[in-house]
Amino acid sequence: METPEAFDRLLRERSAALLRTAYLLTGDRHLAEDLLQSALTKTYLRWETLRDEAAAEAYVRKVMVSIYTRWWQRKWNGERPTAELPDVELLDPYGAADDREHVRRLLAQLPRRQRAVIVLRFYEDMSEKEIAESLGISPGTVKSTASAAMGKLRALLAEPADGVGAAVDLTQVEGRGGRGAGPVGGGERA
Protein backbone atom coordinates (compact mmCIF):
# COMPACT_ATOMS: atom_id res chain seq x y z
CA MET A 1 0.00 0.00 0.00
CA GLU A 2 1.27 3.45 -0.91
CA THR A 3 1.44 6.22 1.67
CA PRO A 4 -1.06 8.98 0.86
CA GLU A 5 0.56 12.27 -0.10
CA ALA A 6 -1.40 14.10 2.60
CA PHE A 7 -0.03 11.72 5.26
CA ASP A 8 3.53 12.41 4.04
CA ARG A 9 2.80 16.16 4.24
CA LEU A 10 1.51 15.71 7.81
CA LEU A 11 4.76 13.97 8.73
CA ARG A 12 6.93 16.65 7.11
CA GLU A 13 5.09 19.69 8.41
CA ARG A 14 3.70 18.68 11.80
CA SER A 15 5.92 15.89 13.18
CA ALA A 16 8.08 18.33 15.20
CA ALA A 17 5.01 19.86 16.88
CA LEU A 18 3.51 16.41 17.47
CA LEU A 19 6.80 15.17 18.96
CA ARG A 20 6.86 18.22 21.24
CA THR A 21 3.35 17.33 22.46
CA ALA A 22 4.41 13.72 23.01
CA TYR A 23 7.46 14.89 24.97
CA LEU A 24 5.31 17.14 27.14
CA LEU A 25 3.07 14.16 27.87
CA THR A 26 5.84 11.69 28.68
CA GLY A 27 8.72 13.85 29.89
CA ASP A 28 11.15 11.49 28.13
CA ARG A 29 12.50 11.87 24.59
CA HIS A 30 12.59 8.13 23.84
CA LEU A 31 9.11 7.48 25.21
CA ALA A 32 7.86 10.51 23.25
CA GLU A 33 9.23 9.04 20.02
CA ASP A 34 7.59 5.68 20.80
CA LEU A 35 4.31 7.39 21.64
CA LEU A 36 4.31 9.44 18.44
CA GLN A 37 5.23 6.40 16.34
CA SER A 38 2.35 4.40 17.82
CA ALA A 39 -0.09 7.25 17.26
CA LEU A 40 1.07 7.77 13.67
CA THR A 41 0.68 4.06 12.97
CA LYS A 42 -2.89 4.10 14.21
CA THR A 43 -3.58 7.27 12.21
CA TYR A 44 -2.17 5.75 9.03
CA LEU A 45 -4.40 2.71 9.44
CA ARG A 46 -7.47 4.98 9.76
CA TRP A 47 -6.35 7.50 7.13
CA GLU A 48 -9.20 6.83 4.70
CA THR A 49 -11.82 7.66 7.36
CA LEU A 50 -10.36 11.05 8.29
CA ARG A 51 -12.00 14.12 6.71
CA ASP A 52 -8.94 16.28 6.10
CA GLU A 53 -5.42 17.03 7.28
CA ALA A 54 -6.57 19.16 10.21
CA ALA A 55 -8.76 16.28 11.38
CA ALA A 56 -5.79 13.94 10.96
CA GLU A 57 -3.56 16.06 13.19
CA ALA A 58 -6.28 16.29 15.82
CA TYR A 59 -6.72 12.52 15.57
CA VAL A 60 -2.97 11.95 16.11
CA ARG A 61 -3.09 14.11 19.26
CA LYS A 62 -6.17 12.29 20.54
CA VAL A 63 -4.54 8.90 19.93
CA MET A 64 -1.35 10.05 21.69
CA VAL A 65 -3.31 11.03 24.78
CA SER A 66 -5.25 7.77 24.69
CA ILE A 67 -2.11 5.64 24.36
CA TYR A 68 -0.28 7.63 27.02
CA THR A 69 -3.24 7.25 29.40
CA ARG A 70 -3.17 3.48 28.92
CA TRP A 71 0.58 3.44 29.57
CA TRP A 72 0.09 5.51 32.70
CA GLN A 73 -2.78 3.32 33.97
CA ARG A 74 -0.64 0.19 33.64
CA LYS A 75 2.26 1.74 35.49
CA TRP A 76 2.52 0.69 39.13
CA ASN A 77 2.30 3.71 41.38
CA GLY A 78 2.62 1.99 44.74
CA GLU A 79 4.73 3.00 47.71
CA ARG A 80 8.50 2.76 47.56
CA PRO A 81 10.57 2.46 50.73
CA THR A 82 13.00 5.31 51.39
CA ALA A 83 15.50 6.15 54.11
CA GLU A 84 13.99 9.60 54.68
CA LEU A 85 10.40 10.71 54.69
CA PRO A 86 9.63 13.41 52.11
CA ASP A 87 8.25 16.73 53.24
CA VAL A 88 4.58 16.91 52.41
CA GLU A 89 2.86 20.22 51.94
CA LEU A 90 -0.58 20.26 53.48
CA LEU A 91 -3.12 21.88 51.21
CA ASP A 92 -6.19 23.76 52.29
CA PRO A 93 -9.03 21.33 51.48
CA TYR A 94 -11.48 24.22 51.02
CA GLY A 95 -9.17 26.59 49.15
CA ALA A 96 -10.21 25.45 45.67
CA ALA A 97 -13.89 25.77 46.53
CA ASP A 98 -13.27 29.24 47.94
CA ASP A 99 -11.38 30.23 44.78
CA ARG A 100 -14.18 28.92 42.53
CA GLU A 101 -16.77 30.88 44.50
CA HIS A 102 -14.63 34.02 44.35
CA VAL A 103 -14.27 33.67 40.56
CA ARG A 104 -18.04 33.16 40.19
CA ARG A 105 -18.61 36.38 42.13
CA LEU A 106 -16.10 38.22 39.95
CA LEU A 107 -17.74 36.90 36.79
CA ALA A 108 -21.15 38.02 38.08
CA GLN A 109 -19.82 41.59 38.12
CA LEU A 110 -19.09 41.54 34.38
CA PRO A 111 -21.64 42.66 31.79
CA ARG A 112 -23.43 39.71 30.20
CA ARG A 113 -21.55 39.73 26.89
CA GLN A 114 -18.16 39.94 28.63
CA ARG A 115 -19.15 37.15 31.01
CA ALA A 116 -20.37 35.00 28.11
CA VAL A 117 -17.12 35.48 26.17
CA ILE A 118 -14.96 34.66 29.22
CA VAL A 119 -16.99 31.56 30.13
CA LEU A 120 -17.02 30.24 26.56
CA ARG A 121 -13.31 30.95 26.06
CA PHE A 122 -11.82 29.78 29.34
CA TYR A 123 -14.36 27.34 30.76
CA GLU A 124 -15.64 25.77 27.56
CA ASP A 125 -12.32 26.20 25.68
CA MET A 126 -14.01 27.47 22.54
CA SER A 127 -12.08 29.31 19.83
CA GLU A 128 -12.75 32.95 19.02
CA LYS A 129 -14.46 31.87 15.81
CA GLU A 130 -16.74 29.44 17.67
CA ILE A 131 -17.61 32.10 20.23
CA ALA A 132 -18.36 34.62 17.48
CA GLU A 133 -20.70 32.15 15.78
CA SER A 134 -22.40 31.23 19.08
CA LEU A 135 -23.00 34.84 20.10
CA GLY A 136 -23.67 36.21 16.61
CA ILE A 137 -20.81 38.73 16.76
CA SER A 138 -17.58 39.17 14.82
CA PRO A 139 -14.29 37.55 15.92
CA GLY A 140 -12.86 41.05 16.39
CA THR A 141 -15.67 41.85 18.82
CA VAL A 142 -14.88 38.62 20.67
CA LYS A 143 -11.23 39.69 21.01
CA SER A 144 -12.01 43.21 22.20
CA THR A 145 -14.71 41.97 24.57
CA ALA A 146 -12.36 39.35 26.05
CA SER A 147 -9.65 41.97 26.48
CA ALA A 148 -12.03 44.38 28.21
CA ALA A 149 -13.37 41.60 30.44
CA MET A 150 -9.90 40.45 31.47
CA GLY A 151 -8.97 44.06 32.24
CA LYS A 152 -12.03 44.43 34.43
CA LEU A 153 -11.33 41.11 36.18
CA ARG A 154 -7.73 42.19 36.87
CA ALA A 155 -9.00 45.45 38.33
CA LEU A 156 -11.52 43.58 40.47
CA LEU A 157 -8.81 41.19 41.66
CA ALA A 158 -6.67 44.13 42.71
CA GLU A 159 -9.45 45.40 44.97
CA PRO A 160 -9.66 43.92 48.46
CA ALA A 161 -12.49 41.40 48.78
CA ASP A 162 -14.20 41.34 52.18
CA GLY A 163 -11.23 43.16 53.70
CA VAL A 164 -8.72 40.65 52.31
CA GLY A 165 -6.65 41.08 49.13
CA ALA A 166 -7.82 38.76 46.38
CA ALA A 167 -5.10 36.55 44.94
CA VAL A 168 -6.90 34.16 42.59
CA ASP A 169 -5.35 32.91 39.36
CA LEU A 170 -8.30 32.85 36.97
CA THR A 171 -6.69 30.32 34.64
CA GLN A 172 -6.26 27.79 37.45
CA VAL A 173 -9.77 27.83 38.87
CA GLU A 174 -11.53 24.78 37.40
CA GLY A 175 -8.86 24.80 34.65
CA ARG A 176 -9.23 25.61 30.98
CA GLY A 177 -11.86 23.59 29.26
CA GLY A 178 -13.43 22.64 32.59
CA ARG A 179 -16.82 21.75 31.12
CA GLY A 180 -19.78 21.99 33.39
CA ALA A 181 -18.68 25.12 35.22
CA GLY A 182 -22.36 25.96 35.48
CA PRO A 183 -24.24 29.12 34.76
CA VAL A 184 -23.08 32.32 36.37
CA GLY A 185 -25.84 34.69 37.44
CA GLY A 186 -26.05 38.42 37.97
CA GLY A 187 -24.40 41.27 36.13
CA GLU A 188 -25.80 43.78 33.73
CA ARG A 189 -26.42 43.68 30.00
CA ALA A 190 -23.66 44.60 27.57
Stronger pLDDT, 68 or 173, i.e. the higher one: 68
- The DSSP annotation for 153-166 comes to HHHHHHSEETTEE-
Tell whether the model's pLDDT for residue 53 goes beyond 50: yes
Q: Residue 188 — pLDDT band, cuts 50, 70, 90?
A: very low
What are the chain's domains? 5-74 (1.10.1740), 95-165 (1.10.10.10)
Please name which of 122, 127, 133 lies closest in space to residue 170, comparing C-alpha atoms.
122
Stronger pLDDT, 17 or 87, i.e. the higher one: 17
Mean pLDDT of the chain: 79
pLDDT in tens, 64-106: 998 888 876 665 555 667 778 777 777 777 888 888 888 889 9
What global pTM score does this model have?
Answer: 0.41
- CA–CA gap between residue 75 and residue 37 (Å, rounded): 20
How many C-beta atoms lie closer than 10 Å to residue 160's C-beta?
8
Burial class of residue 118 (count of CB atoms within 10 Å of its CB; 0-12, 13-18, 19+): buried
Contacts (Cβ under 8 Å, ≥6 apart) of 153: 106, 107, 110, 118, 170
Stronger pLDDT, 182 or 6, i.e. the higher one: 6
- The whole-number average pLDDT for the span 116-124 is 88
